[in-house]
Structure 1
């Protein structure tokens, strides 16, 4: 079922993030996939990878839960509640959360990938 596959995609994202696997995260995007690390500032390619690597550098695990999932053919819109809570590598307490609005496309290989990863949602 589409909803289950997308929920598994989000769970995989959180797993890779929590383990610090930047290369694994990058495989969850289309080649031209966009990340919006700061509202109004989309990045792609090496800048996208650098932004994800920066977030991973805190060393804090991610929790994520799909709130809504809408799919039309090979395109899906996800609304995802996420949080990063814990003590970073430098001893700083991290407490971040939000609701993402993400667009994914189903590839010919049967895997969903981010076209747009917008962790700040409508902020």
Structure 2
């Protein structure tokens, strides 16, 4: 799977990679010099921590859906606001509202630099 060439395609690319179990693409969607928040209040950074966080999310069996609420871009930076969930049939395994900062690389592809998967939750304290 190819990385997105448009910032607004990052969410759909990430969901498609998750849903096909494409660990390599999911990992490549991230700039591991950044931050990922796989659980509220637990930000991590660094390649090993990113990999552990991604693998724990991929361990949740089901189908990921990511709705892009907005994506605003200036130059090689973009910020996205998402509403996402992982469902298994009628069971919602996880549901949240996230904020993602993305950066375009020299090759024209977009990677997520900061992924606060719960960053737009109304009751978030941190």
Which has a greater percent of strand? 1
Match of 1:65 among 60, 64, 67: 67
Gaps of 5+ in 2: none
1:33 aligns with 2:39: no
Match of 1:54 among 36, 53, 56: 56
- Map of 2:98 onto structure 1: 100
TM-score of the superposed pair, with normalisation by structure 1: 0.84
1:77 aligns with 2:75: no
Gaps of 5+ in 1: 88-92
Give 4+ residue runs of structure 1 displaced > 4 Å after superposition: none
The answer to whether the 8 A contact 1:19-1:61 is kept is no
Count of matched residue pairs: 115
- Map of 2:21 onto structure 1: 20
Output the aligned Cα RMSD. 1.7
- Map of 1:5 onto structure 2: 6
CA shift digits 1:30-67 (9 cap, x unpaired):
13121111222211211111111111112211001110
